[in-house]
Amino acid sequence: MLPTFSNNDYVITRHTSRLKKDDVVVINTENNIPIIKRIEFFFNGEFKVSSDNKAYESEICNKKFNCDDILGKVIFNFRFK
């Protein structure tokens, strides 16, 4: 999710059912690895995500997810240097 988020950033999330296009969420992938992506669109209870890093094509962006896959909505991020 560069340039918005870097590898060692910390994020604070909140579990919420109020989600909309362009919200940044942490989702649980098939391998139980949490990733940060931006909601691209909702359709019939499912959604697709996009990445802020347009130079890197992620296969995650080609999959559909449901709301149960969302671990939380990112409400704040910060980094230690």
Output DSSP code: residue 59.
G
Q: Grade residue 26 by pLDDT with cuts at 50, 70 and 90.
A: very high
Rounded Cα gap, residues 25 and 16, in angstroms? 10
Contact 52, 61 (CB under 8 A): no
Q: Is the pTM of this model over 0.75?
A: yes
Token couple for 41: 């669109």
- Topology (CATH level 3) of domain 10-78: SH3 type barrels. (2.30.30)
Token couple for 24: 């940044």
Q: What are the tens digits of pLDDT across the range 40-72?
A: 999 888 999 999 998 888 889 999 999 999 999
Sequence spans of domains, the chain:
10-78
